[in-house]
Amino acid sequence: MKNLIRLNKALARSGVCSRRKADALISSGQVMVNDQVIRELGTAVDPEKDRIMFRGRDISANRADQDGLVYVALNKPVQTVTTVSDPQGRKTVIDFLPDNLKKKRLYPVGRLDFFSQGLIILTNDGELTHRLTHPSWEHPKVYRLIVRGKPGPRILETIARGMTLKDGRQLAPVKVRILSFGLDRTTLEMILIQGVNRQIRRMCDDLGLTILKLTRTSHGPLSLGNLRPGQSRELTPDEVRNLRKSVGLSFVGKRETS
């Protein structure tokens, strides 16, 4: 009995979706367990024994106890889209993965705009993806940007206290500090928790700052490290544990410690 978990949790672990979305899929009759349609929320299953089907696809092979969950860090290069495919034929983050990982049906966690580079997490862990991208968790992301010239104290104070964009969008305070000065440029570090689309670029546009380079250096407890643009690597068990712990989830896999 100790192996029983809720069906929505089993779906999330398999990478199908978040746990909240799984409830809707179950209620609508899109999930089968041992060849029977299940609509009752709260149904318990044994991930090691029960056959779970979603829209006719057996997802049992994806369960975490069989190491089906994969976690990858990628240094996204510029002029790359943060999607699985692109109708315009541009390079996507998936194009930079080795062939064995391209077959794992991984999805990027959040986005980086076309001209930005840096850390992107890719995984088939739907529950983790949901929490890392949901604003209620206020998961910090750290960015290093190079701007033209030298921003004055008033600009930095405006960013730090929380500003209103020209379109009326109110932004939460952003931690900002100067890392270094050059002859005609300044390197800044910003820590965001709000996650508004293209937030840094929109802030800088409104404040008259020209961004020369924008790099995400960390996402929660995970850092970019020495990955060069276009390089990727699988996360270590400790990194997965820390990442899941940061959003209130236990570690899953052969070395689960709960």
- Round to whole Å and give the CA distance between 3 and 82: 36
Strand-strand pairing, 222-223 and 211-219: antiparallel
> Tokens 């800044």 belong to which residue?
188
Residue among 50, 86, 95, 113 flagged as catalytic: 113
167 is an active site residue? no
Exposed/middle/buried for 103, CB within 10 Å: 0-12, 13-18, 19+? Answer: exposed
**Is the separation of the CB atoms in 176 and 188 below 8 Å?**
yes
Cβ-in-10-Å burial (0-12, 13-18, 19+) of 50 comes to middle
Distance CA 19, CA 6 (A): 10
Distances (CA, A) of 32 to 2, 109, 137, 241: 22, 28, 31, 30
Q: How far apart are CA 97 and CA 148, in angstroms?
A: 33
Give the active site residues: 113
